[in-house]
Amino acid sequence: MNYEEQKRKLLEEREQLITSLNELGYALAQKKDWVVRIENDEEEHMDSLDDAEMTEELERDIATLNVIEQRYQEVENALTRIESGTYGICKICGKKIEKERLNANPSATTCEKHMSKRPPD
């Protein structure tokens, strides 16, 4: 099966995710991990906040970063599977994932029957 359309979507989404990640944090070695960045002007700003507010803001950034990073990993893994020829196979039953499902979510790792097995984010 030809997955050029899925690959195009995945590459597009990866670009967007990298942009978001770079806005929130900075890339560690080989863009495999991101950490929240506190910029100099933000640090000054944070001096005027009490500790609770600062922690809350930082925790929110870290949470957002983690969600985007997780998504980025999914996209990255899907692209790797396309390259290795294992893309579009349900990781639970080993059957082909429905084309419609891949169109809706190109980084899907399970078929429609098994998609509920994934814990909610």
Could you list the residues that contact Zn ion (CB under 5 A)?
A: 90, 92-93, 111, 114
**Of residues 78 and 90, the one with the C-beta less far from Zn ion:** 90
CB of 13 to Zn ion, least distance (A): 23
CA distances from residue 104 to 12, 61, 63 in whole angstroms, order as listed: 14, 28, 25
10 backbone φψ class: left, alpha, beta (φ>0; ψ -120 to 50): alpha
CB of 77 to Zn ion, least distance (A): 17
CB of 31 to Zn ion, least distance (A): 31
**Of residues 76 and 98, the one with the C-beta less far from Zn ion:** 98
**Of residues 75 and 90, the one with the C-beta less far from Zn ion:** 90
- DSSP letters, 76-100, are HHHHHHHHHT-TTB-TTT-PBPPHH
